[in-house]
Structure 1
Amino acid sequence: MREGWYIWETSNLIAKDTLEIGDGYRAKNSEMGIDGLPFARAGNINNGFHFDSADVLASHSVQKAGNKISIPGDVVFTSKGTIGRFAFVKPSTPQFVYSPQLCYWRVKDATIVDPLYLYYWMQGPYFFSLVHKVKSLTTMADYVSLSDQRKMHIIAPSIHEQKKIAGILSAYDDLIENNTRRIAILEEMARMLYQEWFVNFRFPGHENVNMVESPLGMIPEGWDVVKLGDVCSITMGQSPSSQFYNVEGDGLPFHQGVTDFGKLFPSDRVYCTYDGRVAHPGDILFSVRAPVGRINIANKKIVIGRGISAICSKSGHQRFMFQLLKDKFQEEDIIGNGSIFKAVTKEEINGVELIYPNEEMIIAFEDSVISLLLDVENLLKRNANLRYTRDLLLPRLISGEIDVSSWVEDSPVEEVVDKGEELAMAAVGAQVEPMRPIDTKSLTWHSLWDQ
């Protein structure tokens, strides 16, 4: 350990009122309601907070939760079942109540421990080794008790260097967050244009087009109702024997279902040395087992298992078909006439009825959205590069392997990212794909501490 770094027992920090480690409120079903605070469980913690589907602790019960209500600066840790998800409570994070699946580490004296440094330190290999030791002591489901957490320790440099380390790593997360916002805006623009043209039928020149009857209701004259199998080639996945699977990267990436689906492209974790059924770059990946209808795009040749089908437009209009399917399957597990499916066959997919416009309208739409979709793809790639570099830097920064004493605090984000790439490449002796120049004029920078 480098000179000037310290090891603090969490028990001592708690005794000195520097740190509080707590768990969640054990709510009764009768305490749930409609108005109140989100009751956060492990499922609501995944690369941030997601409260859309969270239960709500009723207003009249919130006061019973006491200090088990979030405060900005809390580091959230999933400690039961799904171990090792983290989130940081920002001032902009909606206030919520912790469930027993979560623990919080709350810094009470930020002159000793920087909350954001603590958030990143807990994601490092040393903390995970501590967690692994204690969770392996029980034969029950994975669980890290409060008593065990209060016997752990924290490794940290001076508060000044803690802030520098947190600032370096948060620069990456800030940029990822801003890019993610831009992606959401671009995707919404493409979705709204599709809705306007092909759902509301307010496409360019619609005033001069008659509406005619069809099996799916009134549609513009010259459009048709087709089955998905009429306009697309569909390949149903088939799972090879597990003897062909590996995680070392041998063969082609293998995707059995939606586990590794991303925002647009899947991430590769398992590989297969037997080709079997494959999807080609640009194919639409469509889940055929619960959740039915989740969609990604293959960005390379992959082997597909029985939970996925690959869909390719026979006329080459993949961008239009992607938007059409995203609109058609907005609600997962609903297909065709609105019936709920937990799995679908090739015949059922082939038979899905679609309102299909004329060729001229499809081309006009694709020309209108191509720049939006390319921007989305580029931003997703940029985020992947940022995460890769951040994940290379994190263990080296929080261990002191990379000296930050010469770093200037509050440097512009782009300077931090550029320097971080240089350090990451030097640390691993490998080439990290260079980042494209960042147009700061087109971005609104948001610190993790922004309101």
Structure 2
Amino acid sequence: MTNLWRDDIFDNLVRLKRGHDLPNQNIVSGKFPVVASSGIKDFHNDFKASPPIVVTGRSGTLGEVQYITEKSWPLNTTLYSISFRDNLPKYVYYYLKEMHLENFNAGAGVPTLNQNHLQKLKIKIPQLDIQKKIAAILSAYDDLIENNKKRIQILENMAEELYKEWFVRFRFPNWENTEFEKGVPKGWSYTILERLGKIRTGKTPSTSNSEFYGGQYPFYKTPDMHDKVFVFETDETLTEQGLYSQKSQIIEANAIMVTCIGSGGVTAISTKKGCTNQQINSLSVANNKFLYWAYYLIKYLKPQIELYGATGATMTNLSKGKFSNLEIVKPTDALIEQYFNLVSPKFEMIKKLSQMNQMLEEQKNSLLPRLISGKLSVEDLDIQFPPSMQEQ
């Protein structure tokens, strides 16, 4: 550690303030985001803080740090920056991420972050030019990841739009000359979901057996699936022993997973042999060229999953039997395969970009603690600001 770093306290890095209640009279739709402890929740016509703002959870969800670049209303479940003490806001953001603030829980019941305790913590703060270099390196990764996410979204939108055009609006090739029978194009048929392939419901291996967990096989759960087409990484993994303790629940790559308990209708595709928990039903299509058509088919079944899974309680709970017997409209095999041939290159690119993002996240996460601690020196590096930092 060089003399470019100084011993200091957290309060001289950033001053945080508790967020604000949302006045009832102002709960109307608007353009300013309302920021909760776990993320941006809604939009609001009023605001309390001007950008850039660093926001972290104060109550409930701890450890989630957000960098906000628009006027926002931080809720009372958050702490937000009111002064960066002449430090670089983006550096402060990365510093807080590396602190793992969830480890500073001071709540007896609900997880709570005590800002007064944070203010007195002894830390090391680098000079501003070092802060800029560290933030530039990490921001370059985040920029690449964000650009890839945008590309993934564009590719998915293109594939989904073609699905809707052909299979929802019935404007497939030569549709003008197609006859309709019973409300669907001639040659199409009404059937049920289980006739497309093998359906499995997951099950959680015994959590009391430590030899079941921490292996090479993914254990797919709902949080792993959110905002993803393909799931390459899971929070928990299983050993071979753990996987085969649920032998009848094993799924292979390219199984279409859908949540049927809790948040019904979250859909994603597996990429490795593994298994799911009991909240998820999976469809392995008999014809691999049905994969992407069936993926969107199941996504569009979300209202039915929620309707038929309603139990009078507060969450969806759709059994395997009800899921298997959901009625669907099946186009001709030739049309489904034609769709596969057109969208397959898009999905392959989505796979590549998703894998790239996973690699970039891993690289960034390995650099973050070394840069923030000063163990990896940047003072002699000539670093250009990435686009997201051009104005800082």
State if a TM-score over 0.5 links the two structures.
yes
Q: 1:332 to 1:160 in 2, by over 3 A?
A: farther
Q: Is the 8 A contact 2:130 2:378 kept in 1?
A: yes
Q: Within the alignment, does 1:289 sit opposite 2:261 as a pair? A: yes
2:196 is aligned, of 231, 236, 244, to 231
Aligned residue number for residue 74 of structure 2: 98
Aligned residue number for residue 322 of structure 2: 348
Which aligned segments of 4 or more residues in structure 1 are displaced greater than 4 angstroms? Answer: 245-248, 335-341, 448-451
Aligned residue number for residue 242 of structure 1: 207
Q: Higher strand proportion, which one?
A: 2
Q: 1:378 to 1:200 in 2, by over 3 A?
A: same
Q: 1:339 to 1:207 in 2, by over 3 A?
A: farther
1:323: how far off? 2.0
Separation in 1, partners of 2:176, 2:28: 48
Q: 1:145 to 1:265 in 2, by over 3 A?
A: same
Alignment of 1:66-215 (within 5 A): 69-90=48-69, 93=70, 95-108=71-84, 110=86, 113-124=87-98, 127-128=99-100, 132=103, 134-136=104-106, 138-213=107-182
Aligned residue number for residue 29 of structure 1: 24
Q: Is the 8 A contact 1:279 1:303 kept in 2?
A: yes
Q: 1:278 to 1:86 in 2, by over 3 A?
A: same
Separation in 1, partners of 2:381, 2:213: 37
1:233: how far off? 1.4
User: May I ask how many residue pairs the two structures share in their alignment?
Assistant: 381
Separation in 1, partners of 2:150, 2:212: 32
| Paired AA for residue 81 in structure 2 | W
| Paired AA for residue 373 in structure 1 | F
| Paired AA for residue 243 in structure 1 | S
Aligned residue number for residue 222 of structure 1: 187
Separation in 2, partners of 1:401, 1:239: 41
Separation in 1, partners of 2:213, 2:309: 43
Separation in 2, partners of 1:162, 1:337: 51
Q: Within the alignment, does 1:261 sit opposite 2:225 as a pair? A: yes
Q: Within the alignment, does 1:326 sit opposite 2:299 as a pair? A: yes
- What TM-score do the two structures reach when normalised by structure 2? 0.89
Separation in 1, partners of 2:2, 2:32: 44
Q: Is the 8 A contact 1:211 1:220 kept in 2?
A: yes
Question: Which segment is superposed worse, 389-398 or 240-249?
Answer: 240-249
Q: Secondary structure at the match of 1:402?
A: coil
2:236 is aligned, of 253, 258, 270, to 270
Aligned residue number for residue 304 of structure 1: 276
1:339: how far off? 9.6
1:309: how far off? 1.7
Separation in 2, partners of 1:2, 1:35: 48
Question: Which segment is superposed worse, 145-154 or 312-321?
Answer: 145-154
Q: 1:259 to 1:321 in 2, by over 3 A?
A: same
- What TM-score do the two structures reach when normalised by structure 1? 0.78
Deviations 1:184-241 (A, max 9, x none): 111100110000000001111111111221xxxx111111111111222101223332
Q: Within the alignment, does 1:380 sit opposite 2:350 as a pair? A: no
Separation in 2, partners of 1:376, 1:407: 34
- Segments of structure 2 that go 5 or more residues without pairing to the other structure are none
Deviations 1:90-127 (A, max 9, x none): 2xx3x2211111111244554xx111111111111xx3
| Paired AA for residue 4 in structure 1 | L
Separation in 2, partners of 1:288, 1:106: 43
Q: Percent identity?
A: 25
Separation in 1, partners of 2:216, 2:360: 26
Deviations 1:391-412 (A, max 9, x none): 000000111111112211217x
What RMSD in Å do the two structures reach over aligned CA positions? 2.7
Aligned residue number for residue 447 of structure 1: 388
1:151: how far off? 2.3
Q: 1:71 to 1:35 in 2, by over 3 A?
A: closer
Separation in 2, partners of 1:366, 1:296: 17
Q: 1:172 to 1:36 in 2, by over 3 A?
A: closer
Aligned residue number for residue 367 of structure 1: 341
Q: 1:313 to 1:19 in 2, by over 3 A?
A: closer
Q: Is the 8 A contact 2:253 2:272 kept in 1?
A: yes
Separation in 1, partners of 2:204, 2:109: 32
Q: Is the 8 A contact 2:218 2:234 kept in 1?
A: yes
Q: Is the 8 A contact 1:245 1:271 kept in 2?
A: no
1:156: how far off? 2.1
Q: Is the 8 A contact 1:80 1:142 kept in 2?
A: yes
| Paired AA for residue 447 in structure 1 | S
Aligned residue number for residue 418 of structure 1: none
Q: Is the 8 A contact 1:247 1:270 kept in 2?
A: no
Aligned residue number for residue 401 of structure 1: 375
